[in-house]
Amino acid sequence: MLRHSRMLELGSPAPDFMLPDAEGRTYRLADINTAHGLLVAFLCNHCPFVQHIAAAFARVAAEHATRGIRTVAISSNDVAAHPEDAPALMAEFAQRHGFAFPYLYDESQKVALAYGAVCTPDLFLFDPAGRLYYRGQFDASRPYTEWDVKFGKARNTVPCDGADLRGACVALLAGSPPPAEQQPSAGCSIKWRPENEPDWA
């Protein structure tokens, strides 16, 4: 089901987390060098919106890692309902798409709740002080953007290049104010356990 990110208030603090990756290594926010910024991305394996941007997202993250912005991806989906998002398959997904950053599993879904995450992808870029600087779309590309009448199929006419996120990273590193125009991310809803589903999901 299509959802859009909540567009939390800029300046909101980054909630702490302690989560494992698929190999069982544990990562905490406090242990990550965020001196130049931190990108927290809520992703999952099976969402077509994530699949559409995954390789380009990995390239943008790698590009800005050389400039000091760290990236952490988190999957919070209920794997009982969606086994294709299970940790073992997360490792395969990360390798296939060239993730050079931790891809963590939020089994309790408490981290997604703390961040107010709604969809996959849902992106949160924090400044060196841990304050929310950008939240919104990777770019205006989607799995498809128009119907090709001639060929009778959907096609995408917008480049998947991470223009919005890349622009925000460049502005952050330059010490500029947050971009005035921030468009919400669009994607599949996070697959909540019934007992965890928030009112705003």
Q: Average pLDDT for consecutive 10-residue bins of the chain (201 residues)? A: 92 97 94 93 97 97 97 97 96 97 98 97 97 97 67 70 97 97 96 94 79
Residue 197 lies in a domain: no
Q: Cβ contacts of residue 95 below 8 Å, gap of 6+?
A: none
The answer to whether residue 161 is domain-embedded is yes
What is the CB-side half-sphere exposure of residue 143 using CA atoms within 13 A? 14
Residue 163 structure tokens: 């223009």
pLDDT at 158: 82
Give the pLDDT score at 200: 82
Give the global pTM: 0.94
Burial of 159 (0-12, 13-18, 19+ CB in 10 A): exposed
pLDDT for res 89: 97
pLDDT value, residue 1: 75
Q: Could you tell me if residue 99 is inside a domain? A: yes
Q: Answer yes or no: is 168 within a domain.
A: yes
Q: What is the pLDDT at residue 154?
A: 60
Evaluate whether residue 138 is within a structural domain.
Answer: yes
Instruction: Give the model's pLDDT for residue 143.
Output: 86
What pLDDT is attached to residue 153? 62
What is the extent of the structural domain holding 49? 2-189
Does any domain span residue 104? yes
Contact 199, 116 (CB under 8 A): no
Domain count, the chain: 1
Q: What is the CATH number of the domain that holds 24?
A: 3.40.30.10
Which residue(s) pair with 123 in the sheet?
A: 41, 136
Q: Is residue 139 part of a domain?
A: yes
Q: Note the pLDDT of residue 121.
A: 98
Distance CA 111, CA 75 (A): 10
- pLDDT at residue 191, as a whole number: 97
